[in-house]
């Protein structure tokens, strides 16, 4: 198969990339449609490994029609840039944190609520339930994109440069990076810290130059993104399980012949299977590397005081968006059926 120069993307702004990509979606000299997928993780991250499995499957089954190109590491810009590229069809898919999607459709706010899920199992059961995700995944159709699946991104916890977070009081006066989402800013304010929203790619430098005192994320950010080089305290307060979402351009998805869509769906299933296996391995490996090689200390504060402070956010969202109430209630059913065991709590929630 004839290839485009896959990694030959100069380090220039996303705007220039849009122009370059927009004209080349369908190449006249070959039959294959180039399908572009952007994400912000490194090449050895579970997301990239899983998307590579997707690429291989699609090309094995439909290689005469499609060439799938996966662009990692913010090559195509920040997540917000990539969502915009997907909206316009300059690229076909991207992985965006659910937190970012809140600014495109308020329905996504639901999955950003702190302490929404009672355990990792409840999180999986809820996100695997089409009655829960369906209406939300379709809510951005008018904006030109829709979600095709969710991707596990673990549990988000606070990590800081020079003192552990044992209780919400420890956050007072601390500048903590949060994702660019109104929910995360509200959460941080309630917990007493100073919310500093910024893109993922800027966090390492901000930590290093002491613009911020800490951040919050899953364990893999300590190693894959090097945040553990600077932050030596990781506290399992378990405030959010925010999924990543694979979104696709509506025009591209809608014009796929039915038989091709069936192959794409199978490819997405394979991608999910690979991601889930790789994710469990990646979290374990990150904890080990962070503790042994980077000198990060893991601590397990009582999560109840954090949860109590954030609790009013649930009612506030439902009052503002009563249409989300039936979905919220369905999540509560999964929560009751999947209460966290004490042993999983002591392992940091074991959200996998
Ligand atoms: C996780 C998540 C990313 C997100 C990042 C962030 O790594 O998987 O999608 O961009 O957190 O904190 O911005």
Nearest CA to ligand 1 atom 11: 217
Torsion of CA 181, 139, 152, 87, to 10 degrees: -80
Reported as a single tens digit per residue, the pLDDT across 270-280 is 999 999 999 99
Residue 321 in contact with residue 328, Cβ under 8 Å? no
Q: Give kind and range of the element (H or E) at residue 121.
A: helix 120-127
Kindly state the average pLDDT of the residues 132-138: 98
The pLDDT, as a whole number, for residue 4 is: 32
The pLDDT, as a whole number, for residue 328 is: 98
Kindly state the average pLDDT of the residues 182-204: 98
Instruction: Enter the tokens of residue 25.
Output: 């979606």
181 lines ligand 1 (CB under 6 A): no
What residue ranges in 83-144 does DSSP mark as E strands? 93-97
Question: What confidence tier does 53 reach under pLDDT thresholds 50, 70, 90?
Answer: very high
Nearest CA to ligand 1 atom 9: 97
244 lines ligand 1 (CB under 6 A): yes
For residue 32, the 8-state DSSP code is P
Based on its alpha-carbon atoms, the radius of gyration of the chain, rounded to whole angstroms, reads 20
**What whole-number distance in Å separates Cα of residue 96 and Cα of residue 80?**
8
Domain boundaries, the chain: 14-153+242-283, 156-241+285-346
Nearest CA to ligand 1 atom 13: 200
97 lines ligand 1 (CB under 6 A): yes
C-alpha pair distances (Å), 168 with each of 140, 158, 273, 317, 338: 35, 11, 36, 22, 26
Pocket-testing residue among 45, 217, 221, 278, ligand 1, by greatest number of atoms within 8 A of Cβ: 217
Q: Which atom of ligand 1 is nearest to the CA of 95?
A: 9
The pLDDT, as a whole number, for residue 215 is: 98
The pLDDT, as a whole number, for residue 340 is: 76
pLDDT > 90: what percent of the chain?
Answer: 87
Kindly state the average pLDDT of the residues 224-248: 98
213 lines ligand 1 (CB under 6 A): no
Question: What confidence tier does 16 reach under pLDDT thresholds 50, 70, 90?
Answer: very low
For residue 74, the 8-state DSSP code is T
Kindly state the average pLDDT of the residues 54-73: 98
Burial of 228 (0-12, 13-18, 19+ CB in 10 A): buried
Kindly state the average pLDDT of the residues 245-253: 98
Evaluated on CA atoms 279, 150, 80, 322, the torsion sign reads: negative
**What whole-number distance in Å separates Cα of residue 226 and Cα of residue 230?**
8
223 lines ligand 1 (CB under 6 A): no
Q: Average model confidence (pLDDT) for the chain?
A: 91
73: left (phi over 0), alpha (psi -120 to 50) or beta: left
Kindly state the average pLDDT of the residues 27-34: 68
Reduced to 3 states (helix: H, G, I; strand: E, B; else coil), residue 249 is strand
Residue 246 in contact with residue 93, Cβ under 8 Å? yes
Instruction: Enter the tokens of residue 291.
Output: 């503790």
Domains 14-153+242-283 and 156-241+285-346 share a fold: yes
Question: What confidence tier does 11 reach under pLDDT thresholds 50, 70, 90?
Answer: very low
Nearest CA to ligand 1 atom 3: 97
179 lines ligand 1 (CB under 6 A): yes
Residue 233 in contact with residue 299, Cβ under 8 Å? yes
Reported as a single tens digit per residue, the pLDDT across 314-331 is 999 999 999 999 999 999
Instruction: Enter the tokens of residue 145.
Output: 């994109």
**What whole-number distance in Å separates Cα of residue 46 and Cα of residue 179?**
20
200 lines ligand 1 (CB under 6 A): yes
At the fourth CATH level, the homologous superfamily of domain 156-241+285-346 is: Bacterial extracellular solute-binding protein, family 7 (3.40.190.170)
Question: Span 14-153+242-283: which CATH code?
Answer: 3.40.190.170
- CB-based burial, 99-135: b 16+ in 10 Å, e otherwise: bbbbebbbbbbbbbbbbbbbbbbbbbbbbeeeebbee
Reported as a single tens digit per residue, the pLDDT across 279-307 is 999 999 999 999 999 999 999 999 999 99
Q: Which atom of ligand 1 is nearest to the CA of 220?
A: 7
For residue 340, the 8-state DSSP code is P
With a CB cutoff of 8 Å and minimum separation 6, the contacts of 293 are none
**Largest alpha-carbon pair distance within the chain?**
63
Q: Give kind and range of the element (H or E) at residue 196.
A: strand 194-197
Reported as a single tens digit per residue, the pLDDT across 336-350 is 999 876 555 545 544
Instruction: Enter the tokens of residue 154.
Output: 């673990």
């Amino acid at each position: 198969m004839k290839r485009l120069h896959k990694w030959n993307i100069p380090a220039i702004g996303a705007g220039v990339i849009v122009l370059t990509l927009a004209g080349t979606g369908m190449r006249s000299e070959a039959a294959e449609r180039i399908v572009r997928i952007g994400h912000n993780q490194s090449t050895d991250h579970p997301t990239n490994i899983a998307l590579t499995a997707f690429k291989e499957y699609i090309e094995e089954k439909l290689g005469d029609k499609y060439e799938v190109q996966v662009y990692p590491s913010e090559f195509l810009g920040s997540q917000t840039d990539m969502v915009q590229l997907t909206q316009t069809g300059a690229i076909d898919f991207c992985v965006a944190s659910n937190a970012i999607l809140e600014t495109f459709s308020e329905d996504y706010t639901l999955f950003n609520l702190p302490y929404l899920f009672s355990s990792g199992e409840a999180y999986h059961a809820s996100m695997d339930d089409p009655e829960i995700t369906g209406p939300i995944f379709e809510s951005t159709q008018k904006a030109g994109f829709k979600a095709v699946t969710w991707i596990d991104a673990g549990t988000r916890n606070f990590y800081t440069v020079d003192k552990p977070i044992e209780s919400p009081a420890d956050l007072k006066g601390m500048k903590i990076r949060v994702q660019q989402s109104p929910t995360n800013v509200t959460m941080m304010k309630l917990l007493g810290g100073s919310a500093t929203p910024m893109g993922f790619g800027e966090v390492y430098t901000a930590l290093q130059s002491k613009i911020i005192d800490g951040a919050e994320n899953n364990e893999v950010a300590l190693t894959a993104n090097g945040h553990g080089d600077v932050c030596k305290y990781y506290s399992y307060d378990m405030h959010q399980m925010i999924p990543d979402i694979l979104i696709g351009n509506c025009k591209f998805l809608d014009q796929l012949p039915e038989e091709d869509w069936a192959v794409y769906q199978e490819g997405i299933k394979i991608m999910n299977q690979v991601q889930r296996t790789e994710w469990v391995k990646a979290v374990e490996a990150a904890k080990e590397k962070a503790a042994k090689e980077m000198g990060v200390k893991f601590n397990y504060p009582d999560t109840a005081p954090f949860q109590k402070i954030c609790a009013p956010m649930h009612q506030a969202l439902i009052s503002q968006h009563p249409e989300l109430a039936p979905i919220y209630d369905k999540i509560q059913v999964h929560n009751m059926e999947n209460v966290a065991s004490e042993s999983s709590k002591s392992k940091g929630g074991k959200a996998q």
